[in-house]
Amino acid sequence: MNPSLHIGHSRIRKEGRAKVTGEAQYTDDVRMEYMLYGVTVRSSVPRGILKGIEFGEGIPWDEFVIVTAKDVPGELNVALIERDQPFLALDRINHPEEPVVLLAHADRYLLEKARAAVHLDIEPLPPLFDLEESLACKEVIWGQDNLFKKILIEKGDVDSVWAGAAHVVEGEYKTGSQEQLYIEPNGAIAVANAEAGVTVWGSLQCPYYVHTALKALFNLPDDKVRVIQMETGGGFGGKEDYPSLIAGHAALLSLKAGGRPVKIVYDREEDMVATTKRHPSRTRIRSAFDAEGRLLALDIDFALDGGAYLTLSPVVLSRGAIHAGGPYRCPNTSIRARAAATNTPPHGAFRGFGAPQSLFAIERHMDVAAAQMGMDPIALRKQNLLRMGDATATGQIIKENVDLPGLLDHALEKLDYSAKKENHRIHNASLGPIKKGLGFAIFMHGCGFTGSGESYLASVAGVEGRADGKVHVLAASTEMGQGANTILSQVVAEVLKVPLEYVEVVRPDTALVPDSGPTVASRTTMVVGKLVQEAAIGLRQTLIQSGFLKVPYDGEGFSSAVKQYIAKNDHLKAYSQYNTPPQIVWDDQLYKGDAYTTFAWACYAAEVAVDTRTFEVKVEDFVAFQEVGRVLNPTLAEGQIEGGVAQGIGYGLSEQVVWSKGRMANGQMTNYIMATSMDIPRIRVYFEENPYPNGPGGAKGLGELPMDGPAPALLNAVQDALGTSAPREIPLTPERLMDLLDLMDFLEPSNV
Amino acid sequence: MARLLDVIREDLELTGTKEGCGEGECGACSVILNGKLVNSCLVPAVQAEGAELRTIEGVASDEQLHSVQESFLHCGGAQCGICTPGMVMAAVDLLKRCPHPDEAQIRDGLAGNLCRCTGYGKIVDSVAQAAERAIQVAEESRS
Ligand code: FES
Ligand code: FES
- B56/A21 touch (CB, cutoff 8 Å), yes or no: yes
DSSP A559-576: HHHHHHHHHHHS-EEEEE
Which residues pair with residue B3 across a beta bridge? B44
A–B interface: beta-carbon pairs under 8 A: 170
Contact B21 A481 (CB under 8 A): no
Q: What distance in Å separates the CA atoms of residue A176 and residue A654, rounded to the nearest whole number?
A: 11
Residues of A in contact with B123 (CB under 8 A): 677
Task: Give residue A750's pLDDT.
Answer: 43
Cβ–Cβ below 8 Å for B22 and A13: no
- The verdict on A236 touching B (C-beta cutoff 8 Å) is yes
Inter-chain touch A481–B73, beta carbons under 8 Å: no
**Any ligand 1 atom below 6 A from CB of B83:** no
The pLDDT assigned to A478 comes to 97
| Ligand with minimal distance to B41 CA | 1
What is the DSSP secondary-structure string of A290-345? -TT--EEEEEEEEEEEEESS-TTHHHHHHHHHHHTTTTB--SEEEEEEEEEE-SSS
Could you tell me if B21 lies within 8 Å of chain A, comparing CB atoms? yes
User: Quick one: which of A359, A384, A252, A369 has its CA closest to A604?
Assistant: A359
User: Kind and range of the H or E element at A436?
Assistant: strand A434-446
d(C-alpha A106, C-alpha B73), whole Å: 38
Identify which of A155, A218, A618 has the alpha carbon closest to the alpha carbon of residue A390.
Answer: A155
ipTM: 0.98
Asked whether the beta carbons of residue A20 and residue B78 sit closer than 8 angstroms, the reply is yes
- Cβ contact A234–B111 (<8 Å): no
Chain B residues whose CB is inside 8 A of the A15 CB are 81
Nearest CA in chain A to B109: A677
Q: Nearest Cα to A298, choosing from A261, A256, A278, A327?
A: A327
Q: Report the length, in residues, of chain B.
A: 143
- Do B22 and A267 lie within an 8 Å CB cutoff? yes
| B94 to A1, A134, A535, B53, B100: CA distances (angstroms) | 47, 52, 47, 17, 10
CA distance A243 to A222: 18
Give the Å distance between the CA of B27 and the centre of ligand 2: 11
Ranges in chain A annotated CATH 3.30.365.10: 16-24+459-577, 31-125+180-274, 281-449+591-751
Q: How far is the CA of B53 from the centre of ligand 1 (A)?
A: 17
- pLDDT tens digits, residue range A234-265? 999 999 999 999 999 999 999 999 999 999 99
The answer to whether the pTM exceeds 0.90 is: yes
> In a 10 Å sphere around its CB, with 0-12 CB exposed, 13-18 middle and 19+ buried, how is residue A89 labelled?
buried
| Nearest Cα residue to A400 out of A441, A432, A460, A444 | A444
Partnered with residue B61 across adjacent β-strands are: B64
B98 touches chain A (CB under 8 A): no
pLDDT digits (tens, 9 = 90+) for A654-687: 999 999 999 999 999 999 999 999 999 999 999 9
- The rounded Å distance from CA B20 to ligand 1 centre is 5
CA distance A627 to A259: 51
Confidence at residue B143, expressed as pLDDT on a 0 to 100 scale: 65
Distance of CA B34 to the CA centre of its chain: 15
Is residue A657 within 8 Å of residue A550, measured between CB atoms? no
What letter would DSSP give residue A738? H
What's the CA gap between A571 and A577, in Å, rounded? 20
Task: Tell me whether residues B72 and A16 touch, CB distance under 8 A.
Answer: yes
Q: Of A421, A424, A402, A409, nearest to A378 (Cα)?
A: A409
pLDDT tens-digit readout, A277-331: 999 999 999 999 999 999 999 999 999 999 999 999 999 999 999 999 999 999 9
**Residue whose CA is at the smallest distance from ligand 2 atom 4:** B115
Stated as kind and residue range, the H or E segment containing A519 is none
Percent of chain A with pLDDT over 90: 96
Q: Is A211 exposed, middle or buried (0-12, 13-18, 19+ CB in 10 A)?
A: buried
Separation CA B85–CA A381 (nearest Å)? 45
pLDDT digit string, tens, across residues A166-199? 999 999 999 999 999 999 999 999 999 989 999 9
Pocket test for ligand 2, best of A26, A180, A183 (most atoms within 8 A of CB): A183
Ligand 2 atom closest to Cα of A481? 2
In the reported structure, the alpha carbon of residue A440 is separated from the centroid of ligand 2 by a whole-number distance in angstroms of 27
Integer Cα distance of A539 and A524 in angstroms: 21
What radius of gyration do chain B's Cα atoms show?
Answer: 15
Give B95→chain A minimum CA distance, Å: 17
Q: Which residues on neighbouring strands pair with residue A587, listed in sequence order?
A: A592
Q: Which atom of ligand 1 is nearest to the CA of B24?
A: 3
| Nearest residue to A642 (alpha-carbon basis) of B66, B122, B107, B80 | B122
Question: Which numbered atom of ligand 2 lies nearest the CA of A182?
Answer: 3
Rounded to the nearest angstrom, the distance between the alpha carbon of A103 and the centre of ligand 2 is: 31
Element (H, E) at A125: none
How many Cα atoms sit within 13 Å of A520 on the Cβ side? 28
Maximum pairwise Cα distance, chain A: 88
- In three-state secondary structure terms, A77 is strand
CA distance, residue A482 to nearest chain B CA (Å): 6
**Mean per-residue pLDDT of chain A:** 96
Residues 351-390 of A with CB under 8 A from B: none
Return the bridge partners of A435, or none.
A610
Q: Distance, in angstroms, between A153 CA and closest chain B CA?
A: 35
Closest by CA to A561, choosing from A427, A466, A658, is A466
Angstrom CA distances, B5 to A106, A664, A710, B91, stand at 19, 27, 37, 19
Q: Which residues of B touch A10 (CB under 8 A)?
A: 76
Beta bridge partners of A584: none
Pocket flag, ligand 2, residue B118 (CB < 6 Å): yes
The total number of residues shown for chain A amounts to 752
- Other C-beta atoms closer than 10 Å to the C-beta of B87 total 30
Note whether B27 and B83 are within 8 A (CB). yes
Map out the domains of chain B with their CATH numbers.
4-142 (1.10.150.120)
Which residue, among A533, A528, A526, has the nearest Cα to A478 in the 3D structure? A528
| Domain A31-125+180-274 annotated CATH 3.40.50.2000 | no
C-beta atoms of A481 and B28 within 8 A: no
* A50-72 tens-digit pLDDT: 999 999 999 999 999 999 999 99
Number of CB atoms found within 10 A of residue A292's CB = 10
Q: Do A695 and A524 form a contact (C-beta atoms < 8 A)?
A: no
List Cβ neighbours of A88 (8 Å cut-off, separation of 6 or more).
A67, A68, A69, A72, A76, A99, A100, A101, A102, A249, A252
- Whether the CB-CB separation of A635 and A743 falls below 8 Å is answered with no
Q: How many CB atoms lie within 10 A of CB B52?
A: 9
Select from 3.30.365.10, 3.40.50.2020, 3.20.20.10, 3.40.640.10 the CATH code of A281-449+591-751.
3.30.365.10
Tell whether B17 is within 8 A of chain A (Cβ). Answer: yes
Chain A contact present for B90, CB below 8 A: no
For residue A279, give the DSSP letter.
Answer: P
Kindly report, residue by residue over A723-748, the tens digit of the pLDDT.
999 999 999 999 999 999 888 776 55
Instruction: From the options 3.10.20.440, 3.30.70.1150, 2.40.40.20, 3.30.365.10, give the CATH code of A16-24+459-577.
Output: 3.30.365.10
Q: Do B76 and A13 touch (CB under 8 A)?
A: yes
Q: What is the pLDDT of residues B100-142, one digit of tens each?
A: 999 999 999 999 999 999 999 999 999 999 999 888 877 777 7
Task: Name the burial class of residue A134, with classes exposed (0-12), middle (13-18) and buried (19+) by CB atoms within 10 angstroms of its CB.
Answer: buried
Contacts with A683 from chain B: Cβ below 8 Å: 119, 121
